[in-house]
Amino acid sequence: MIQSMTGYGKSVLQLPNKKISIEIKSLNSKSLDLNVRIPSVYREKELFVRKLIASQIIRGKVDFSLYIESTGEQSSSQINTPVIKGYMQQLKHIVPTENAVELLNMAVKMPDALNTVREEIDESEWQSIQDCIEATLKKIVEYRSDEGKVLETDFVNRVNAIKTLLTKVITIDANRIENVKARLHKAVTDLKEKVDENRFEQELIYYLEKFDITEEKVRLENHLDYFVTALNSADSNGKKLGFIGQEMGREINTIGSKSNYAPMQKIVVQMKDELEKIKEQLLNVL
């Protein structure tokens, strides 16, 4: 079963005084390219989060975001009362006003007017967040699996289309050989030279062997069957399928270069078109 590298997952966790939102989205990439956005209070857990994501996502350009929205009265900042009072006393000697509100407005903007208390991670709270991250990972894996099923259906349809075209190639191959023979006979006749028929037959056989596509037809059919088998294997992956796709392309190109017959070349063009679409989709397979 294949997976797409495109995916999205989101979960929301409601805690007593805050709401945690977790988003994970991924796109295709040759390796794991992980970008983690996490609030500073949980920064010490970033390495753990990276390892957790890497164990599930494997490959792709992945963006992980953890957002905090405060829903309670708790605040990490506290008013530094002695400092503010001191500023107000000093400002009275500088600013010609006895308006306490105006002095207060100026004092709270001065350095150290607020004390920021660094929050310590509550382990029970973090466990809830970790469970939420794992749930989000499960969602994105399911998303990628669903996308993989769509890709798999498309791959099978296109492989079957190439098989149908290959059958057409096999069907017209006999006509192609006769056409090549006729062209050679005509070329010799146009020379208006008497030739040794036995020698001519030998040269003709040698020439036709160069244009024989029997091996290419057999190998292409085997590659097509192997591609479908690999799709259904437990260890199916985009790199392996990409390699098989390259081998399919090699055989199709050789058939095209050897065909020397317009009707067959038209079919080869159609085969190349189907294979190109397969290769484009393979870039998004895990």
Q: Are residues 137 and 178 in the same domain?
A: no
Is 1 a member of any domain?
A: no
Average pLDDT over residues 14-36: 92
The 10s digit of each residue's pLDDT in 137-185 is 999 999 999 999 999 999 999 999 999 999 999 999 888 877 777 776 6
Q: Are residues 158 and 208 in the same domain?
A: yes
Average pLDDT over residues 252-263: 90
Average pLDDT over residues 192-209: 63
Which amino acid type is present at position 104?
A: L
More confident residue, 108 or 264: 264
**pLDDT at position 3 over 80:** yes
- Integer Cα distance of 39 and 183 in angstroms: 76
- pLDDT category, 77, cuts 50, 70, 90? low
24 neighbors 9 (Cβ within 8 angstroms)? yes
**pLDDT at position 247 over 90:** yes
More confident residue, 194 or 212: 212
User: Domain tally for the chain?
Assistant: 3
More confident residue, 283 or 209: 283
Return phi, psi of residue 9, to 5°: -145, 145
More confident residue, 273 or 260: 273
**pLDDT at position 83 over 80:** no
Instruction: Output the 3-class SS for the chain.
Output: CCCECCEEEEEEEECCCEEEEEEEEEECCCCEEEEEECCHHHHHHHHHHHHHHHHHHCCEEEEEEEEEEECCCCCCEEECHHHHHHHHHHHHHHCCCCCHHHHHHHHCCCCCCEEECCCCCCHHHHHHHHHHHHHHHHHHHHHHHHHHHHHHHHHHHHHHHHHHHHHHHHHHHHHHHHHHHHHHHHHHHHHCCCCCHHHHHHHHHHHHHHCCCHHHHHHHHHHHHHHHHHHHCCCCCHHHHHHHHHHHHHHHHHHHHHHCCHHHHHHHHHHHHHHHHHHHHHCCEC
**pLDDT at position 207 over 70:** no
Average pLDDT over residues 29-47: 92
**Exposure of 30 in the CB half-sphere (CA atoms within 13 A):** 0
82 neighbors 115 (Cβ within 8 angstroms)? no
CA dihedral 261, 266, 270, 276 (to 10 degrees): 70
The 10s digit of each residue's pLDDT in 86-115 is 777 777 777 776 677 777 777 777 777 666
Q: Are residues 164 and 252 in the same domain?
A: yes
Output the pLDDT for position 82. Answer: 79
Is 42 a member of any domain?
A: yes
Q: Are residues 236 and 192 in the same domain?
A: yes
Q: Are residues 38 and 95 in the same domain?
A: no
Output the pLDDT for position 74. Answer: 54
Q: Mention every residue, 6+ apart, whose C-beta is less than 8 A from residue 225.
A: none
Output the pLDDT for position 285. Answer: 93
CATH number of the domain bearing residue 12: 3.30.230
Q: Are residues 153 and 240 in the same domain?
A: yes
Q: Are residues 136 and 63 in the same domain?
A: yes
Is 249 a member of any domain?
A: yes
Domain that holds residue 64: 7-73+121-145
Q: Are residues 137 and 154 in the same domain?
A: no
Q: Are residues 92 and 165 in the same domain?
A: no
Q: Are residues 97 and 180 in the same domain?
A: no
Is 112 a member of any domain?
A: yes
